[in-house]
Amino acid sequence: MAERNIEGPSARATRLLRALRREPVDCTPVWLMRQAGRYLPEYNQSRAAAGDFLALCQSPDRACEVTLQPLRRFDLDAAILFSDILTIPDAMGLGLRFAAGEGPWFERPVRDEADVAHLAVPDPEVELRYVCDAVRLIRRELGGRVPLIGFSGSPWTLACYMVEGRGSSDFRLIKTLRYRRPDLLHRILEVVTEAVIAYLNAQIAAGAQVVMIFDTWGGVLSDADFVACSQSYLARIVAAVADKTVPVVVFTKGGGLWLERLADTGAAAVGVDWTVDLAEARRRIGTRVALQGNLDPMALMGSADTVRQQVVATLERYDADPSLSPGLGHVFNLGHGLSQFTPPDSVAVLVETVHRYSAEIRRRRASSSSLS
């Protein structure tokens, strides 16, 4: 596929920001979680040149290059900082490592009182300076063509990795801590929350125009524990974002039961995964926050016609209620991140269909209104 030219101003410049403020836009903006990643051959070349994943993240120049790669291919409405959610615990001294085929793990997980006592909030402009430098560089290279999204993991999700030491199927260690030593668990969450606040504010100061909080493991919690261990800390983070003009997006994978509670955090937008019906989500909370989502990432494994059909169905579900303004407050995304096996051509079809069909819905609805 020929690369797109991302030079020069375009209608994309404000589309995402307006949608997040629930203002009218010409068509639905679209960006994709993990839009810079292993499905792109140019990304794999950059990663090989860097030597490993951490080296790629920790080089502002390389992180900038990888962030811009999908924008050269696709007419996306935002760039998202190339980094990892585990940068904060790594900066706390836990020793982040990536093993091929095994995912991330920590050399020094947090397991007892002594481990918790050693936790401290890292200075984003010292221990995480490489992230802030990457944000500054990306923002400069974008030149206002599209907004830049910064991000962090949620306190609960980061705590899961910090205590378990790696990904988990049952979260036995952190849930044992929750029931045996809830005081230690909440001490971890307190420190991590302060770290996330400092980190996101530093990204915003460096140039991020939107920030997103990935609550990847929030869906493994009980109802009561979601409130106590995730929602309450998310709300504190949103309230502590210093620049109130910067929209905050919160996303809990498996969080469909708690859409109202996620909206109650004060975030500008709530991300929804593919298990949630968008018409129902809009009925429940979409009149007070924007919604982001929610195509099943595996839909991109289908044919081009299938991808188009699935995108159209997602847009139609958002606009199922004819009494609501078409597309108002919708940011098209996947229900989770792109798979490394996604055909790049499927992404091109997705992006083109979102823009074309969402604009068609608006034209159709406007014509219908003028005739009535």
Q: Which residues pair with 96 in a beta bridge?
A: 106
Tokens 């770290």 -> residue: 195
**Where in 288-338 does DSSP place strands (E)?**
290-295, 330-334
Helix (H) or strand (E) holding 360: helix 344-371
Strand partners, 97: 105
CB neighbours of 275 closer than 8 A, spacing ≥ 6? Answer: 254, 256, 335
Instruction: Tell me how crowded residue 112 is: count the other CB atoms within 10 A of its CB.
Output: 10
Kindly give the interhelix angle for 278-285 and 304-318, rounded to the nearest 10 degrees.
Answer: 30
SS3 51: coil
Give CA angle at 78 (12, 315), nearest 5°.
75
φ, ψ at 154 (rounded to 5°): -75, 160
User: Could you tell me the CA-to-CA distances from 210 to 132, 138, 207, 268 in Å, in that order?
Assistant: 14, 14, 9, 10
Question: Sign (positive/negative) of CA torsion 308, 311, 314, 318?
Answer: negative
Give the C-alpha separation, 121 to 317, whole Å: 43
CA gyration radius, the chain? 20
Report residue 157 as tokens. Answer: 């999700």
- Cα distances (Å, whole numbers) of residue 227 to 222, 231, 260, 291: 9, 5, 12, 20
Q: Are 240 and 234 in contact (CB under 8 A)?
A: no
What is d(CA 170, CA 27) in angstroms, rounded to the nearest whole number? 41
Which helix (H) or strand (E) covers residue 152, if one does?
strand 148-153
Residue owning tokens 């969402």: 358
State the catalytic residues: 34, 38, 47, 84, 161
